Structure 1
């Protein structure tokens, strides 16, 4: 995919300078505007992957501008910068589908970079899904034409045409499977767009995994960062609530779940129906998913599972950040108090 272009709109020059500095070491192409009206004119000329707008501006609010921007470039992801006093208005706009997310002022630089990265990943996923849907539509048209030709030439080229037909059907099935996988990932992403607890997000993730991969059982273990253990946080197909299975001490080197968490490598049994796979974000282990499958676990199975767990990792990572926010805010207040 080509280099991502980001448009930032804020009537305060110092905010624009700060955001330019923040993204200077990234691969993003950043454009800035102090006027929402000029920004909308720019959107009519240039294509952007992401639009970030301040909420309070003289000409119009950020939400008002982004509603118009959506009509001009519906595929662009939209983020609002806002103060805490406007949270209710922004959440309403999120639920109505006008914006992807809001980020409060003042922002945390690391969190801002993370949210922008997530937004662009979602943009790429949507683009990939749309391309696949177009490809399937074209394949179906080709298949229809092929069937018409097959009926005319069945007597003289039966063997040749049946072979070609089988290849096309196989390709179509593979594409359908890919679309189902993308639909599952989209369900999880849509869930991440609104405000939910980590438990709710993990349950949605496991439900999608079960629907797509047809598993027998799955349990997600997450590291407790205050204590040195892994906890069974959510499960599906289990006889009892996951939390009743207890906690696994991270110093238990003989435990396979601990081995997977620390090494970042999967473990499968000899029958290929049991799998332990790390849940990682930026190569950092955040947890482990345990899978018992009704069928043989293939490389394709593992690849699909990785796609789903990478989204779960976003939610887990966000949960860790949110847990640490009070401490971060307290440190900021201490620093400000010393100034």
Structure 2
């Protein structure tokens, strides 16, 4: 275990996340107990108070985990010096020492934040939020999000305290290290090499992101009274397209954007892109948010039914947020590439 400022604050954020998640589960469970037993002070609207408390807890937890997401990459970078004897030269190398822990953490962080955001959206204007019998059903998204956060925080705590020793690695081996690759690159002109390095990927990613912005902006401006807007296949298809574009975004960032912005030749320096360029940290956050939030309309329709008027009215702001997030990402990346 390596103790430094980043590891201590990581444990602190994980502990706060677990405590807030447990509080969310307790509040939701007590709400279920109240709805079954019918125990309620006649002078107070206790179910509504519990809903407000639940929203407050979820909001605070969302803020804490939003801070903890980029913080984890700073933690990886802070461990480089202490693990240099194992061949570690960058944050990517630190992650390679315990991939069975780091990979689930990578996946759980955006998943937990997406679930927390959906819990807030689902609880904002639930028509029967003051009805004790519906409190348990309305709190289910928050419970699922809390479970994801507990899993994420537990794994992060285990990662911090786990001994990080093992095999020797060479984490920053450049893709031009081999003789054959070196000879092939030297035989190509710099302009052509730059084109083959990822210009096609940049064009494809830009086109895909612009298409997603146009689709989400169009749905944001669509009339909520139109029946086609509330059909579940529309948000379902858009979320699938968003998943594909998010995968393309990750590949382009790793293979092209990060090396160009940082002027580094190796393909995995996306870790340094997040820790060393603050604007790109924001771009990474809004990129994931803009794609992940496309799942919210699908969840709302499954939770309330596609015929619910509240679903149609809430889809517009969600898609508007997605369009704004994707446009912000595109603008930041293009500015840094140019």
| Shorter-chain TM-score above 0.5 | no
**Structure having greater relative contact order (Cα 8 Å, sep ≥ 6):** 2
Which protein is richer in helix relative to its size?
A: 2
Larger strand fraction of residues: 1
